[in-house]
Amino acid sequence: MVFLWALRGAVTVNENNRQAILRAACELTQALLAANRLGPEDIVAGFYTSTPDLDAAFPAEGGRLAGLQEVPLLSAQEVAVPGGLARCIRAMLLVDAPRPSGAPVHVYLGEAARLRPDWAGRQAEAEPLEAAVSSRSGERGNRCGRIVPRPNILQIAPYVPGKPIEEVKRELGLTDVIKLASNENPLGPSPRAQAAIRAAAGQVHIYPDGNAFRLRHALAAHLSAQVGDDPAGKGRSLIISAEQVMVGNGSDELIKMLAETFVHPGDRVVFPTPSFSEYEFACRVADGTPVAVPLKDFRVDVEAIAAAARVPRTPLVFIANPNNPTGTLISRPELEWLIDQLPPETILVLDEAYYEFVDDPAYTPGLLWVAEGRPVVVLRTFSKIYGLAGLRVGYGVAPAELVALVQRVREPFNVNSLAQEAALAALEDTDHVARSRQLVREGREELTRELTARGMRVIPSQANFLYFDLGCDGREVFRRLLQEGVIVRTGDIFGNPTFLRVTVGLPEQNRRFLAALDRVLAAVRSKDG
Ligand SMILES: *Cc1c(COP(=O)(O)O)cnc(C)c1O
């Protein structure tokens, strides 16, 4: 025999927006659970209603955020009552657990407290959450059921990495597999970087240089030469100093550090979509509000980005230039216009992970604005052209006062000693960089030509990968390519289910990819036709 009992609660919301509704419903749910010493596993169903003036989100989603992951939750709209409380969310949770010895504690928060003066404030007498957690843990086999994470953490979608070669070999029983899925350098790391790693191996019992002194100074010199080469910088004696350079455990870490430093809870973080998933991830970790601005014909829509950035409380705008997965650029005039449009309290982060592969003269990197002291951060990485993705080292260039702020959230030894030595050697190996660049430019041209000749739409790319429209289901082609031992990326994770993204490989890898694709498409067409 099951006896269910119910908890009631209500909360008011200040604004009709998604963030506010989810947060209020989440807090209400958490408060109901905590005040009654219940965990998510004690709840069998939840009903939420909202007044008609709250239509920006379903409050039941807030119940999910509060940890009600696996029970049916329902949202419904109330019928407006004349003179009723405005912007109000009501909840009823059905409980399958022994009734507490005292009366159940219903929870009325915010202005909703007026609804039930007899019940409001009761939760204040209840045990605080921590006490409830510790007093009940151990009573059941599952000791984690009552742990409540920060709500924003539950909104993070796990990163979808390219499939590792070893996994594909194991799962499909293949011996010869190529990975053209993660934009790595097919030539491998520079031999000089490999030698530097071997030479440093005997010193790994010593902590790395937490300030990465030599690497930051080498980068400053390297970047100053680039600023000097910029036609717009000529004759202006602009340089980049080591105080303007920060290093990270991959540029991924710098993206997260920027959000941790500048995003207050609820602040907006603007980025294009589809683009690199780390921007939304970093925003969520910092409890910010992601604002994804769709591309326009596969290019970053600078006007829409500027409009989104002008809304108050937008401390960060991320743009990958060239963009991933499309490989498209924003040009110098577009970038100049955008930088002029941004409010003074907004930082523009230009992620130039693929900077070295660009040959379009319309392109400009963001260094000049950094050198001028504008609120611009340029991110670069050793993972792509330098072939050091496995070591995790990237860097950021920004005005020194911004760098000093970001340094506060840095782990003391975030870039390991082998990575620092390898990066220094790779930076000096200009031959390896030139060879890699040449290989990618030729391969990119060849693949673009070959795919276009097969009737596919190829987005013009300035990076070391191509994004193209197969005209049929990309997941099926992806699966069949795996059987052929070729790993690529599907476009569905980027919102384009008929697209694939392929990294430019060695000439023989590109040919193998094309031959496999021809076989796969012939098979798909004969099946469909
Ligand atoms: C690959 C990539 C990076 C590099 O990330 P690391 O953490 O440095 O390996 C950064 N941004 C974009 C857009 C990328 O595609």
Q: Are residues 199 and 317 in the same domain?
A: yes
Say which residue the tokens 């790779």 belong to: 426
What pLDDT digit, counting tens, does each position of 347-406 carry?
999 999 999 999 999 999 999 999 999 999 999 999 999 999 999 999 999 999 999 999
What integer pLDDT is reported at residue 137 of this predicted model?
41
Q: How far is the CA of 404 from the centre of ligand 1 (A)?
A: 22
Judge if 117 and 213 occupy the same domain: no
Q: Are residues 178 and 204 in the same domain?
A: no
Task: Tell me if 282 is assigned to some domain.
Answer: yes
Average of per-residue pLDDT across 279-294 = 96
Max mean pLDDT among 5-14, 62-71, 390-399 falls in 390-399
- SS3 for 299-330 is ECCHHHHHHHHCCCCCCEEEEECCCCCCCCCC
What pLDDT sits at residue 356? 97
Say yes or no: 424 and 436 in one domain: no
Token pair 């920006």 is found at 56
| Torsion sign, CA atoms 413, 419, 425, 429 | negative
Q: Quick check: is 485 in a domain?
A: yes
Rounded average pLDDT over 483-508: 96
Question: 99 with 176, same domain?
Answer: no
Which residue CA neighbors atom 6 of ligand 1 most closely?
A: 250
Shared-domain flag, residues 142 and 38: yes
Q: Is 262 among the domain residues?
A: yes
- d(CA 466, CA 461) in angstroms, rounded, equals 6
Task: Provide Rg for the chain, Cα atoms.
Answer: 27
Residue among 419, 347, 340 at smallest CA distance from 378: 347
pLDDT of amino acid 140: 45
- Counting from 1 in the atom list of ligand 1, the atom nearest the Cα of 323 is 13
CATH code (residue 345): 3.40.640.10
Number of domains in the chain: 3
Domain end among 135, 155, 175: 155
CB 179 within 8 A of CB 501: no
Q: Tell me, what's the pLDDT at 159?
A: 77
pLDDT for 237 beyond 80: no
Mean pLDDT over 50-66 rounds to 92
Q: Region 503-518: what's the mean pLDDT?
A: 98
CA of 42 to the centre of ligand 1 (A): 43
Q: From CA 510, how far away is CA 57, in angstroms rounded?
A: 46
> Which 8-state DSSP code applies to residue 331?
B
pLDDT (tens digit per residue) in 72-84:
999 999 988 888 8
Q: Same structural domain for residues 289 and 236?
A: yes
CA of 251 to the centre of ligand 1 (A): 6
Span 287-297, average pLDDT: 97
Cα–Cα distance, 40 to 69 (Å, whole number): 8
Does residue 188 lie in a domain region?
Answer: no
Pocket residue to mutate for ligand 1, from 330, 377, 383, most atoms within 8 A of Cβ:
383
Lowest mean pLDDT among 20-34, 127-141, 449-463, 476-490: 127-141
Q: Which atom of ligand 1 is nearest to the CA of 182?
A: 1
Same domain flag for 454 and 481? yes
Give the CATH number, domain containing residue 519.
3.90.1150.10
**Percent of the residues in the chain that have a pLDDT greater than 90, as a whole number:** 74
Q: What is the pLDDT of residue 130?
A: 42
Residue pointed to by tokens 């592969």? 357
How far, in Å, is the centroid of ligand 1 from the Cα of 274?
Answer: 15
Q: Which of 417, 413, 416, 405 lies closest to 375, judged by CA?
A: 405
Q: Which ligand 1 atom is at minimum distance from the Cα of 276?
A: 13
| Phi, psi (deg, nearest 5) at residue 346 | -110, 135
Average pLDDT value over all residues in the chain? 91
User: What six digits make up the tokens of 340?
Assistant: 């002029």
Mark whether 510 and 474 lie in a shared domain. Answer: yes
CA angle 370, 371, 376 (to 5 degrees): 10
With 0-12 / 13-18 / 19 or more C-beta atoms within 10 angstroms meaning exposed / middle / buried, residue 397 is buried
* 160 falls within a domain: no
Q: How far is the CA of 488 from the centre of ligand 1 (A)?
A: 17
At 160, the pLDDT band (50, 70, 90 cuts) reads confident
Show the ligand 1 pocket: residues with CB < 6 angstroms. Answer: 183, 250-252, 276, 320, 324, 351, 353, 381, 383-384, 389, 394
Q: What is the mean pLDDT of residues 416-444?
A: 98
Task: Look up residue 363 and give its DSSP letter.
Answer: B
From 352, 382, 384, 494, the mutation candidate for ligand 1 (largest count of ligand atoms within 8 A of CB) is 384
Last residue of a domain, one of 382, 411, 428: 428
333/230 same-domain check: yes
Q: Which of 324, 440, 465 has the most ligand 1 atoms within 8 A of CB, as the residue to mutate?
A: 324
- Whether residue 324 contacts residue 275, with contact meaning beta carbons closer than 8 Å, is answered with yes
Same domain, 30 and 116: yes
What is the spatial distance between Cα 239 and Cα 370, in angstroms, rounded to a whole number? 10
Is the distance from CB of 77 to CB of 59 less than 8 angstroms? no
Nearest CA to ligand 1 atom 15: 324
Which range among 7-11, 82-86, 98-102, 434-438 shows the weakest confidence by mean pLDDT? 98-102
Cis peptide before 325 (omega within 30 of 0): yes
Of 121-125, 191-195, 229-233, the range with the highest mean pLDDT is 191-195
- What pLDDT is stored for residue 134 in this prediction? 39
Do 217 and 240 sit in the same domain of this protein?
Answer: yes
- Band (238; pLDDT cuts 50, 70, 90): confident
- Taking CA atoms only, the protein residue closest to ligand 1 atom 2 is 353
Q: Where are the alpha helices (DSSP H) in 94-230?
A: 122-125, 129-136, 165-172, 191-200, 213-229
The residue whose C-alpha atom lies closest to atom 3 belonging to ligand 1 is: 353
Residue 264 lies in a domain: yes
What does the pLDDT look like over 82-139, one tens digit per residue? 888 899 999 999 998 887 667 788 888 888 887 777 765 554 444 444 434 434 444 4
- Of all atoms in ligand 1, which is nearest to the CA of residue 393? 8
C-alpha 162 to ligand 1 mean position (Å): 13
Give the residue-averaged pLDDT of 16-27. Answer: 89
- Written as one string, the DSSP assignment of 333-354 is HHHHHHHHHS-TT-EEEEE-TT
Q: Among 179, 183, 249, 252, which is best to mutate for testing ligand 1, by the most ligand atoms less than 8 A from CB?
A: 252
- Is residue 462 classed as helix, strand or coil in its secondary structure? coil
The answer, yes or no, to whether residue 410 has pLDDT greater than 90, is yes
CA–CA separation, 84 and 214 (whole Å): 67
Residue nearest to atom 14 of ligand 1 (CA): 353
Q: Where are the beta strands (DSSP E) in 64-188?
A: 73-77, 88-95, 107-109, 178-179
* Final residue before a domain boundary, out of 428, 450, 466: 428
Q: Is residue 322 part of a domain?
A: yes
Q: Which domain holds residue 36?
A: 5-155
